[in-house]
Each structure stands twice: as C-alpha cells, then as structure tokens.
Chains A and B, each alone.
Chain A
Amino acid sequence: SYELTQPLSVSVALGQTTRITCGGDNIGTKNVHWYQQKPGQAPVLVIFRDTNRPSGIPERFSASNSGNTATLTISRAQAGDEADYYCQVWDTSFTYVFGAGTKVTVL
C-alpha cells in the first residue's frame, strides 16, 4: 500500500516562513491535498490538487509537488496557523491515504 511520510513537528518564528514536506514514491505523479486541523476542530482543506487554494484560504499558504516530495509552505506565519497539517493522496487501489500529520508550532 502507498505510504506518505511527514515530519512529526516543525516550528516557525512569528512572521517567518516554514515548509512541511510529504514524501512518497513518485508522489509528483499524484494529486496532493493538504488539510489543517486545529485542536478540537475538524480538518479544513487548505490546498487541493497540488497547488490550489480553496476560497477563504490566505495566499500565505502555498504548495508544490515534484519527484518524491510534496511541500506545503506557510509564509508570514501567524499564531493562528498553529495546527496539525496532513497531506493526502488517492491511491489507485481506491484508497485515500493520509500522512501521519505534522504539528506546526509558532514561536
């Protein structure tokens, strides 16, 4: 089965930029989606189809996908960006696969 690898945690200084990676075999050939989940809340879609932001998601959130790594970038980090972030792909065996999640701490 397909697996996605994310770092357990990352930290970023207020106002700075952080990047969250999502590794997978030839992940660049798949559509990658990203979700933000704040404590006690449901996940929220922040990026779909590699690079697209849903309406209402700030431009500070961007993403890329190439080779074996997809990356979510949070620019000008704010305290409200503290959350768990999950990457997700759809596998050809009709399985939706999530990464284990990355906890982002804003210092």
Chain B
Amino acid sequence: EVQVLESGGGLVQPGGSLRLSCAASGFTFQYYAMNWVRQAPGQGLEWVSTISGSGDTTFYADSVKGRFTISRDNSRNTLYLQLTSLRVTDTAVYYCAKEGAGTYHFDHWGQGTLVTVSS
C-alpha cells in the first residue's frame, strides 16, 4: 500500500525557516517524481514544487521560487521541502503527493502538515 507521511510543520515567525519531510513507502520511491502542494486556510489547492525521481530536476511555483528548496534522499525514501524567508501568506497545510504515471497528476497524497507563519 502506497503511503506518504509528512512532518515538520509548526509555528514560525515571518522571515523564519522550516524544513518539511515526507516519508514514503509502498512503492519504488526513486522511480517517481514527487511534489508539494499547499492549501491555505479555507482556500483551494496550490502546487508548490516538483522534483524528478533522480532528484536532478526541480520546478517551483513563482510564488515560492528563490525561497523554497525541494530535495529528496532516495536511500531513505524521503522527500524534503526547505522553506526560508517565510511570509504570512505561506501559512497553509502542505501536502506531499506522489506523481501518477505518465500524465502529470497526483495519485497519492499525505495527510498534510500545517505551517503557520505569524508573529
């Protein structure tokens, strides 16, 4: 059974940093791109970042480019998201999502981890 489990969320001040983790199991991790998608309170879904299976290619939404860094450790089946220069508008539940095969969609999601940016 495919499972992804996020951790690392919490309360941080504006301008602060945080690192999110996502532990994956039930599939061959290195074969699949992985993603972060976020959802601000009461709002819709927003794609944040994607990393290829090998880790050598990354993509970011314009809203986080230059502030967030996605990475992965295929030996530990773990995905990461380093958040820096955090803004109040980054407050959201951050979901880890496995890429579906072939056509750029998300076939399995974690339960999410809440990041609150507030002074």
Contact = CB atoms under 8 A, between A and B. Distances in A.
A82 B108 CA distance: 20
B27 interface: no
A89 to B, nearest CB: 8
B109 A48 contact: no
Interface in A51-98: 54, 84, 86, 88, 90, 94-98
In which size bucket is the chain A interface? Answer: 20 to 34
B52 to A, nearest CB: 11
Contacts of A41: 111
A39 B53 CA distance: 31
Contact of B50 (A35, A88, A96): A96
Contacts of A86: 44-45
Contacts of B106: 33, 35, 43, 45, 88
Contacts of B109: 42-44
Sorted nearest first, the 10 A-B pairs with minimum C-beta distance are A90-B104, A96-B47, A33-B105, A42-B109, A31-B103, A98-B45, A101-B44, A94-B59, A100-B44, A49-B103
